Amino acid sequence: MRPHPLVYTFLALSLSASTALAEDFPGVRQLMSDEQFREAGLHKLSTGEREALDRWLLHYTVGDAQELRRSNQAVQEAEEAVTIEAAIKSPFRGWDGNTVFQLDNGQVWRQRLRGRYFHRSDDNAVVIRKNLFGFWEMTVTSSGKTVGVTRVN
C-alpha cells in the first residue's frame, strides 16, 4: 500500500517550515544580555555545545513550551505578572504606524498596530504588558494612550 500523495506534501511543508524557523531563531547568545550569558556559565560552552543547546531550545520552544503555557498555572501566573516599566528615549513625539521605540532600559520595541498618536509632553514613561489575548501593549503613562507592540531587541 502506497502512502497518499498528501503525506509527502505534508512532510515537505513540515521540513521546510522547521528549517525556516531554525534559520530565524537567534540562539541563546543573542537572546540574553552579556551579563545573563556569563552568569549562566554559557560562555564556557564550546561552539558545538552552544549549537546543541540552541537546537534543544528551538524544539522546546516550538513544542513543550507551548503546552506549558496552556496547561501550567505557575507559568501562566508568571506570564501575567510581567510588566515592563521604562521610558522612551528622547526625542519622542508619538507614533505613526511603524514606529520603533528605543527604551532607556536598552529594549527596542516596534509598533504592531496601525494608528497615530502625537505626544506633547516631556514625560516619556511607559508601561508594557500583555493584554488578554497574549499580545504586548505599550501605554504612555502621562496620556494613557496605548499601542500594540512587538519586541525587536
Q: pLDDT in tens for each of the 153 residues of the chain? A: 555 444 444 444 444 444 444 566 778 887 778 888 999 999 999 999 999 998 888 877 777 766 766 677 776 676 666 789 999 999 999 999 999 999 999 999 999 988 999 999 999 999 999 887 778 999 999 999 999 999 998
Domain chopping of the chain, boundaries: 5-78, 82-151
pTM for the model stands at: 0.51
3-state secondary structure (DSSP) of residue 134: coil
Handedness of CA 69, 43, 26, 101 (dihedral sign): positive
Strand partners, 95: 117
Residues with Cβ within 8 Å of residue 100, at least 6 apart in sequence? 108, 109, 110, 111, 152
